[in-house]
Amino acid sequence: MIRTIEEINARIKSGKVVVATAEEVVGLVREKGAAQAAKEVDVVTTGTFGPMCSSAAYINFRQSTPKIKCGGGRVTIDGVRGYAGFAAADVLIGCSALPDDDPRNAVYPGLFQFGGAHVIQKLVEGKKVKLEVRAYGTDCYPRREYTVELGLEDLNDAVLFDPRNAYQLYNVAVNLGEKTAYTYMGVLKPRLGNANFSTAGALSPLLNDPKLRTIGIGTRIFLAGAEGYVVWPGTQHVAKPQRDAKDLPLSPSATLALMGDLKQMDARYMRAASVTGYGVSLSVGLGVPIPVLDEQVMVHCAVADEDITYPIIDYGEAYPMGRSGNLGRVSMAELMSGHIEIDGKTVPTGCTTSRVYSRRIADELRQRILRGEFLLTRPVAALPGAELAY
């Protein structure tokens, strides 16, 4: 071990810490080697910004007089149905929830102009939303109807909760079919009209720590401008994926469950997305700091866009029908060049993850660490399949 987490935090507090982004260390390691780079850099920052459909917020509203119990009743926020299966004043709003009267895909392809993500974004922007509660009334909570306009400051609590985020590696989506496919990977034109990818590549949090040696339950993160935490493995987490020689997984594998205080979030790092023909999603800015505990951490952080390869999957038929079928692999560098070759055809590429925002997030996290505002944590437990380096 080169340094401990305590030593890193001491250097952050004394203003001596050296932080580089995951893109910057690629060049540094090429120039000086991983051993030297690991000696020079204390922390590497990563970042990603793209639609995270598995995002939600739960809120606790202030009681009305007389009191009302929403649990078991019905709740809408700006017309979007919230989940009211909890206690008296707790409501969960999923980013993909829609108002009952949204035409969805009845008018194909649907526009999905407003949903749960827009409600969450409005709250973070400091705007008011309309909460409507219908309840059955009890002796202790007699009220049956309650309508109120409220903003973040009126809520007792507001927490962003993402059961699955930060996918380690993702598919490249194409369409072999005869008609346009409207998917969560974007609009895919027929007959290999385009190829869409969704990853921050060399900046991607879990690709810079592919074996999860530093990231675990309890890791403090940058979540949409707030301090958040990794709280659990994400759903669909794959503990033991197949890996290449650089330890990178060959298919979508590790995921993280994340939480953070919605009240501390910044609208610049969060954006509701209306995915044509698919639904509403929420783009969430995530930044994960990686402590350079040993040389191996730096070897992993040096992953470049040329190193990372993604499977190409047909979303015209194979994916919806649950058939496996890999049309080959392609590297991030090729994807970023603007076109790739599939079956001898040149296919233009588009991305749903913003590299510009991913860079901004990795840099913002670096600035916070340099200013002494963000200290690193030692995870309390490893994620399934991982062994911590601490």
**If binding is defined by CB under 8 A, does position 187 make contact with another protein?**
yes
Max Cα–Cα distance, the chain, nearest Å: 72
Residue pair 292/3 in contact by the 8 Å Cβ criterion: yes
Q: Which residues pair with 145 in a beta bridge?
A: 134
What does residue 243 show for φ and ψ, rounded to 5 degrees?
-130, 160
Q: Is 177 in the site for another protein (CB under 8 A)?
A: no
CB of 271 to another protein, least distance (A): 6
Quick note: the x/- pattern for another protein over 301-340, rule CB under 8 A, is -----------------------------------x-x--
Report the Cα 101 to chain-centroid distance in Å.
29
367: its two tokens: 């600035």
Strand partners, 260: 160, 228
Tokens of 330: 């392609």
Instruction: Give yes or no for residue 208 binding another protein (CB under 8 A).
Output: no
Name the CA dihedral angle for 117, 123, 129, 135, rounded to a multiple of 10 degrees. 80
Select from 3-11, 144-152, 218-226, 345-353 the region that touches another protein (CB under 8 A).
345-353
Q: Is 314 in contact with 174 (CB distance < 8 Å)?
A: yes
Strands 270-275 and 43-45: unpaired
Q: What's the full length of the chain, in residues?
A: 390
What track of x and - describes contact with another protein for positions 89 through 118 (by CB under 8 A)?
--------------------x---------
When asked if residue 281 is in the footprint of another protein (CB under 8 A), the reply is yes
* Contacts (CB under 8 A) with another protein, residues 30-49: 49
Q: Cβ(289)–Cβ(373) under 8 Å? A: no
The stretch among 140-148, 161-169, 288-296, 351-359 that binds another protein (CB under 8 A) is: 351-359
CB-nearer residue toward another protein: 111 or 389: 111
Would residue 53 show up in a list of annotated catalytic residues for this protein?
no
Question: If binding is defined by CB under 8 A, does position 190 make contact with another protein?
Answer: no
Which of 213, 220, 271, 368 lies at the binding interface for another protein (CB under 8 A)? 271
Residues noted as catalytic:
140
Residues that bind another protein (CB under 8 A): 49-51, 109, 182, 186-187, 189, 193-196, 271, 273-277, 281, 283, 336, 338, 348-357, 359
